[in-house]
Amino acid sequence: MTVPGFVTHDPEMLSLFWIAITTAAFVLGVGCQIRLRGAVWANPVMIAIALVACVLALTGTTFDAYFAAVEPIHFLLGPATVALAIPLAQFIGHVTRSLVSMCLALVAGSVVSVVTGIVLVRALGGDRLVALSMAPKAVTTPIAIAITQQVGGQPSLTAAFAVCGGIVAAVLGEPLLRRLGISDWRAHGLAAGLAGSGIAAAQVARRDPLAAAFAALGIGLNGLVTALLVPVIRMLVP
Amino acid sequence: MVTAFLTLLVFQLLGSAVQARFGLSVPGPVIGMFMLVGFLLARQAMERGARPVVSDDLGRLARGLIAALGLLFVPAGVGVVTQFGVLRTNFVPIAVAIVGSTVLALVVTGAVMHLGTRSRKPRA
């Protein structure tokens, strides 16, 4: 199967074609998750990536050609990252009452996430590139991709790790914390946002509005802490 | 809507300019995000408002973009097809690190927050 000539010969048509395929794959992914009654593991991003990868393989299209064609979608990641400022500014009022414990929890969680990500990969014999791409995986994907580009990781690995980590946090987060006797929604929300970004945050947001606010804070503030932390820790990666 | 989009672009540009000028390792859009938070909070303080002032358009655009975030990182994610070799040779370290590091981060964050706020409610 090949992409028709009238598409491949015109760069604008090519962009239109692959943007439509990418968007359709994502819409299908969302549809799948809805049909599975919102199952966390049926993540629309994961499904969309798999579907697009299949279409690339079937049509013999290289990733570079695909990525050049869908550049307009990728470009919007920048403005979308800046847009995270709006929920962050709206929720920051919640912080003032539990400021000290939140800062401590934030820094402790970020350090543990970055350091254990790197150490586990290296200790089990993984490559340095994999360890660097693993370091920012807890952060919301657009920020994680930006950080990984900055420190010399591989953005596509980071994107895949971030989605998988988010699913792990969404599935295990609440039962795990409850087993440890942690019942405060602020703690649940912050932990979900910090460790599992958007995917886990969406999960706790359905349970409680205060958890949703703290999850949004966890996502935004972890972006800052990890962005500051990863370049420093990179120098220590063997 | 156009003004709201311009606001986001201007802050991304400012953030990226600061990053380039000072050679910072924090990505430009992330700096831009915190500059916009600072701007919104400063304006709230000046107007002595109870909540940050966000225009309807900016609020709507932000909600729309954030709702579509999943779609926006599909292109970068598809790049994983170029990494099958790396994934195969690093399968065990990757699987253990994703699960292990995520679980540890969850527990540490939740536990520290729990210990710090234990005295005051709200309970789940």
Q: Per-residue pLDDT averaged across A106-127, rounded?
A: 94
Q: Per-residue pLDDT averaged across A21-46, rounded?
A: 90
Which residue from A80, A154, A230 is facing B66, i.e. has the nearest CB?
A80
C-alpha pair distances (Å), A196 with each of A74, A103, B6: 22, 18, 30
pLDDT band at residue A146, thresholds of 50, 70 and 90? confident
Q: Per-residue pLDDT averaged across A144-153, rounded?
A: 87
How much is the pLDDT for A149? 87
How much is the pLDDT for B120? 54
Can you give the C-alpha Rg of chain B in angstroms?
20
Task: Answer whether A134 sits within 8 Å of B98, measured CB to CB.
Answer: yes
For residue B123, report the phi and psi dihedrals to the nearest 5 degrees.
-90, 155
Q: Per-residue pLDDT averaged across A166-192, rounded?
A: 90
pLDDT averaged per 10 residues, chain B (length 124):
94 94 82 91 85 86 85 85 88 95 95 80 51
Per-domain boundaries in chain A: 2-69, 85-234
> Cα–Cα–Cα angle for A171, A173, A177, nearest 5°?
145
The tokens 């350091």 sit on which residue? A115
Task: Answer whether A102 sits within 8 Å of B113, measured CB to CB.
Answer: yes
How much is the pLDDT for A85? 86
Contact residues on chain A for B34, CB-CB shorter than 8 A: 85, 224
Please tell me the distance from the alpha carbon of residue A117 to that of residue A131, in angstroms, as a whole number.
7
Indicate whether A40 pLDDT > 60. yes
How much is the pLDDT for B52? 76
Task: Answer whether B58 sits within 8 Å of A86, measured CB to CB.
Answer: yes
Are residues A139 and A222 in contact, defined by beta-carbon separation less than 8 angstroms?
yes
**pTM of the predicted model as reported, rounded to 2 decimal places:** 0.82
Contacts of A107 (CB under 8 A, 6+ apart): A225
Which residues numbered 88-147 in A keep a CB inside 8 Å of some CB on B? 88-90, 92-93, 97-98, 100-102, 104-106, 108-110, 112-113, 116-117, 120-127, 129-130, 134, 137-138, 140-143, 145-147
- Sign of torsion, CA A82 A92 A188 A194? positive
ipTM of the complex as predicted: 0.86
Please tell me the distance from the alpha carbon of residue A15 to that of residue A20, in angstroms, as a whole number.
8
Task: Answer whether B81 sits within 8 Å of A84, measured CB to CB.
Answer: no
In a 13 Å sphere around the CA of B12, the CA atoms on its Cβ side amount to 19
How much is the pLDDT for B47? 85
Q: Which residues of A178-190 are buried (b: 16+ CB within 10 A; e: fewer)?
A: eeeebebbbbbbb
Indicate whether A120 pLDDT > 90. yes
